[in-house]
Structure 1
């Protein structure tokens, strides 16, 4: 349970800050270099709302012309029974499918109940405010939702 928060945090952060070229159409991420992805994520277990935990999360990583790689995470619990640290397997890579959609390549979060994992997790990207909003998404037996903002402001074309 302690690690479930990492699942949510990692998924959101990865989603919001990573963008890369897709096979169908090449996308360009700008600018490149060091990035910070931060925001509030809610994590929990599928079908069990009393485990919902809200975390203020910050990911660090690098943007290149093809996308982002998240390599660091820090998170502080706002509310709920789960921990907001430990569990997410870094690095996390996210691909830009279009100027309005990202795909988390692979997300693995270790929890006390086992690992939650998912591939090709699609989330909406907003170029206007350099953010990703993760609608309530199931990743194995885990669930997460939230909005993360990338800094410096990032555009996907």
Structure 2
């Protein structure tokens, strides 16, 4: 059984492994591999310290299989906003875990005063766009040819939710 829990220091290595696996698929994220584990650890520590939220999906053995984070705006004028990022290992997709991760992260961010959650998703990621719409996100615009990989372009869809 998969559980969604608040990220803790003990989840850093697992989060880093999932981030790297999703990045290496070369389809979903802006990065093509995870940064060094030390940077991932610093990122998680910043979120836990109050600069945002991170939740992770873990299996029975506490292995991380997915994550969702919301990073709060770092200036006074955008402190009410949060930028969402997420990922799941391939074999755990299509089970409703993305929705569970997002529900938990959005609820935690809202309790911290986040009034606007924003994200960008590649237009080719139809499953994610559908999920975001089901959760109430609205498309605010598109960045045409925002990504180019292996000679192919993809638009970036800008979406936001006001929880």
Work out whether the TM-score is over 0.5: no
Task: Indicate the structure with greater helix content.
Answer: 2
Scaled by the length of structure 2, what TM-score is found?
Answer: 0.27
**Structure with the greater alpha carbon radius of gyration:** 2
Q: Which has more strand, going by share of residues?
A: 1
